[in-house]
Amino acid sequence: MKFALFLFGASILGSATTLFATRAMSNTDSFSDTCVAVQDNGFVRTAARVPSVETDFTVAAEKTINAVVSVKTFVTPRMQQRSNDFFVDPFEFFFGPGNGQQRRQQPQQQESKPQQLGLGSGVIITTDGYIVTNNHVIDGAEKVEVTLNDNSTFNAKIIGTDATSDLALLKIEAENLSPIVFGDSDGIKVGEWVLAVGNPFGFTSTVTAGIVSAKARSISQATHGRSMGIESFIQTDAAVNPGNSGGALVNTNGELVGINTAIYSQTGNYAGYSFAIPSVLVKKIVDDIKQYGTVQRAVLGIQFTELTAEMAEEKNITATREGIYVAKVTDRGAAMEAGLKEGDVIIKINGNDVKNNGQMMEQMNKLRPGDVATFTYIRDNKTHTTKVTLKNNQGTTKITKASDVIDLGCTFKKLSAAKKRDLGISNGVEVVGLKAGKFKEAGIKEGFVIVDINNAPVNSQEEVENIYNAIMKSTDTDKVMFITGIYPTGIKKYYAVDLTD
């Protein structure tokens, strides 16, 4: 009897153990098996229980799809085009033989009507209608139209643009919108799942998935030296196509980690990698545009290059094999004042690694003139730190303000053919309505006829404004109009108009 009871108890215990093990092994929602093959030389088959990857993106899609909009741009043709002219699509950065999509543009009718110039995406960032997109999406547009996910359509005002970062801020008159939540692009990791949300090929509210392939990626090498501005992108293999530009790159929580900007492709369509501006930089640039009207950029005052293993060996640098090698220190710059010298290797800014150009530019673009940053660097194979008070491109710590052609303090009158003959010139504009401003400070007087600015001939106020805007948008330290002209008396004059504050 005792033996029978023992067998009965053992069988119950064995059944319970088997049931528990079976249920645990069948729980495939949380675990998956990986096996090592049996070998004859002593290795045995093993099974490891590891957590499976979360691939449910429905929550992230639902959180973001109403925050991403379609952005259409329109322009009115101003002149009849020849039938053999070519039009190059300006709305995507495509590299390789398929640069843009060239197509013959049909002759325009004399009756000019607004025509759609391009299609991109944008991201709602406030409940009252502020939207961020790419600068190249709206560049050159006379009218910008925004369509929400519910098909509501609004005319958008361009609040500000920044060609260097390829970002633009729009505003529509709407309330109670569904803004996106900003995430921390610094915190994302290579290999992490991300979603691209936008309007590729005009297909609205499209979501694609991929992983983060790299961070702080510089792509000027792939573009054969053509700088893309910030040069510190999040690289991903999520499918991004024409129309995705300005759309959202989000993490699995539905938080914005980047603005999709460019793709690397031989055809102009998705066939490789896509690149997004990190959300940390997007937020800083948008805040600058809203608060100051222009982006505040900190200048360190050095010329630099990436440290390579070959360079480290040549310079007898043994403390590090990566970092930013200081090739030259600018006189009276922030770096010189902080004690940095040629030959130093910068390895951290505010505790963040700067191993390459992309990371260096990313950290610098987070800062403003007047900010005090901690730089960690190697000198004589020893680690040092210093505090650097950063400056603007004019060598001061002042916040720069947005300027307008109105700051010149005059308007420009088109010359009649008769007046051109009298003065013996073929082109020019007359300075009229002169008042306090940049021109008067430079010594220009009422009635002066401008023939060219920076060696570019001018014939209208629009051409003067275009030159002015190009100068102000450039990254050059010196922002100057070199003007050649003539007074009604026939005296030829030259002026240099300083456009800096």
For the stretch 130-183, pLDDT in tens is 999 999 999 989 899 999 999 999 999 999 999 889 999 999 999 999 999 999
Q: For the chain, how far is it from start to end, CA to CA, in angstroms? A: 104
- Is residue 447 within 8 Å of 473, Cβ to Cβ? no
Confidence band for 12, pLDDT divided at 50, 70 and 90: low
- pLDDT the model gives residue 75: 87
Contacts of 178 (CB under 8 A, 6+ apart): 66, 67, 124, 127
Q: What is the pLDDT averaged over residues 50-79? A: 81
Average per-residue pLDDT in the chain?
Answer: 82
Q: Scanning the structure block, which residue is given the tokens 């009229």?
A: 432
pLDDT at 300 over 50: yes
- Is 460 a known active-site residue? no
Query: Which is catalytic among the residues 70, 121, 136, 265?
Result: 136
Confidence band for 464, pLDDT divided at 50, 70 and 90: very high
- pLDDT the model gives residue 405: 81
Q: Is 399 exposed, middle or buried, given 0-12, 13-18 or 19+ CB atoms closer than 10 A?
A: middle
Q: Distance (Å, rounded) from C-alpha 222 to C-alpha 213?
A: 16
Which H or E run includes 469? helix 461-473
Q: What is the pLDDT averaged over residues 333-358? A: 95
Q: What is the pLDDT averaged over residues 397-402? A: 81
- Is 237 a known active-site residue? no
- Is 166 a known active-site residue? yes
- Polymer length in residues for the chain: 501
pLDDT at 342 over 90: yes
Query: Which is catalytic among the residues 165, 218, 232, 245?
Result: 245
Contacts of 31 (CB under 8 A, 6+ apart): 49, 50, 51, 52
Query: Which is catalytic among the residues 70, 121, 165, 166?
Result: 166
CA 297, distance to chain mean position in Å, is: 14
Q: Alpha-carbon torsion 278, 281, 286, 289, what sign?
A: negative
pLDDT at 37 over 50: no
Task: Work out the angle at residue 471's Cα, subtended by the Cα atoms of residues 466 and 475, and round it to the nearest 5 degrees.
Answer: 140
**Which is more confidently placed, 325 or 225?**
325
